[in-house]
Amino acid sequence: MIDVNRVVADRAALKLVSARNAQRWGVLPLSVDEETLHVVLADEENEMAVIQLESHTGRTVNVLPASDGEAVTEAIQRYYATEDSENAGTPLGLLEDLVNRALQIRCSDIHVDPESSRGCVRMRVDGVMRIERELSLEETADVVSAIKVAASLDIAEKRIPQDGQLTLYSSGEEISMRVATVPTVCGEKVTLRILTTAAIAAELVHLDNLGMSERHFGFMRTALDNPNGVILLSGPTGSGKTTTLYAALRHLQQPGTHHILSIEDPVEIPLDGINQVHVDSERVSFNASLRSALRHDPDIIMIGEIRDSETADIAVKSAMTGHLVLSTVHANNAASVVSRLLNLGVTPELLASSLRLVIAQRLVRQPCRHCCTMERPSDDVIREFGWDPADEITVAHAQGCNLCANSGYSGRMGLYEMIPFGKRLREMVRQGIHEDDIAKDVFGTQGLPTLGRDGADKVRQGMTTIEEVRRVVLFEEDD
């Protein structure tokens, strides 16, 4: 069954069917080869649509089974949104086309890169950059100007970086994006970070869909059930920390009995039932916003990031006064979060009393279920991942097909490393024991899985690939 939200329709196939016919026949073209057009239908019993398609395109039509007819209808709207735009053929129309394509392939950011003889549009899909389109020098200059005008930036200033925000509409949906420009030797580079779409808000995943193992899910649920304390997430930029935080807030918000307040810079996804505060750093500091938020008597506070000693101090003291605090910090692994907070000036006593759960996470891509193959790994890989050579082991290998834009992957999931803080660990923190000794106790004596071990388990279950785990985890860290 084809999930249209996890495949990428090919541009060549889309051009074979006009927006009018696609909507009239309820058909979404996915891919095309020399003689066959592969499609999904909103109504799979619509034989007349197949006959008309074959007559119209001169190709044999292969109807693939779709998991949801309504999703097919929505996808048709999404893919053909800009074809009849009143801005078609203009720089703004080109910008709308790029943004619409980004939404189609679930891209997180768009990069318009100037080069010596042309321009290049790159999009980050599932955490990996890929070239999506080439532009002439004139088109590159036009789309950069259109972006700067839409974001209210100084169009004449090309020598210094500028930042802004713009909003476009696609299929009646408001799309908010952060804009950043920077001068390069070949011209201005522009990056668009897609912040908010209704689809993202509607599809915000639940905790049990993030890819956590049963054990990790239990740790998370137990920590969220605490009336007070601090839950911290760590990981590099783009590791899914914000998604996990929002899923946790959604879990906490479900009963409707908590007053939840978030302090964010910026607010990335609007959530009903949660008071979200956008911090404007030019007018008021992050810490001032947090202090003000505490006067509103929240039960649960989400802080976008603990980035300085004052924020760390307020977060820990808020937990000590009866609040449940969720936030992120930059650290390489779960154990080093303790050292990071101590370096920010939190006393060992306060830290030990407030910490409930520390999480490190990474994101890995999932193999496309339409083209991946299962094979036995080599003996070297079995040793590297710590599996028993006597076991019957098969792992997924990404291949690439028309339904995943030949990437071999579709969608992402999390790898997790969690440290729940009980009496034993709290005492170790009070005594100032080094993070390496904490890690040795948690992942050695207690046997909790590291990021590498969680990745190895998910490779063996066919949920990701060897290459993806190697990309985000160094197995030497597990020694």
Give residue-wise pLDDT tens across range 254-274: 777 899 999 987 777 777 888
* pLDDT of 341 above 80: yes
Percent of the chain with pLDDT over 70: 94
* pLDDT of 347 above 50: yes
* pLDDT of 176 above 90: no
pLDDT at 67: 83
Weakest-pLDDT range from 8-12, 285-289, 337-341: 285-289
* pLDDT of 477 above 50: no
Q: What is the pLDDT averaged over residues 147-152?
A: 94
* Closest among 33, 29, 88, 97 to 63, alpha carbons compared: 29
Q: How confident is the model at residue 85 (pLDDT cuts 50, 70, 90)?
A: low
Q: How confident is the model at residue 200 (pLDDT cuts 50, 70, 90)?
A: low
pLDDT at 479: 42
pLDDT at 112: 97
The whole-model pTM stands at: 0.83
| Structural domains of the chain, with CATH | 4-79 (3.30.300.160), 91-199 (3.30.450.90), 204-478 (3.40.50.300)
* Residue scoring higher pLDDT (281 or 9): 9
| For the ranges 63-77, 363-377, 398-412, the one whose mean pLDDT is highest | 363-377
Q: What is the pLDDT of residues 1-53, one digit of tens each?
A: 888 877 888 888 998 999 889 999 999 999 998 889 999 999 988 889 999 99
pLDDT at 476: 47
Q: What is the pLDDT averaged over residues 143-160?
A: 94
pLDDT at 88: 66
Q: What is the pLDDT averaged over residues 294-312?
A: 91
* pLDDT of 420 above 90: yes
pLDDT at 205: 66
Average pLDDT, the chain: 89
* Closest among 25, 57, 55 to 41, alpha carbons compared: 25
Q: What is the pLDDT averaged over residues 374-379?
A: 95
pLDDT at 346: 94
pLDDT at 478: 45
Q: What is the pLDDT averaged over residues 378-389?
A: 94
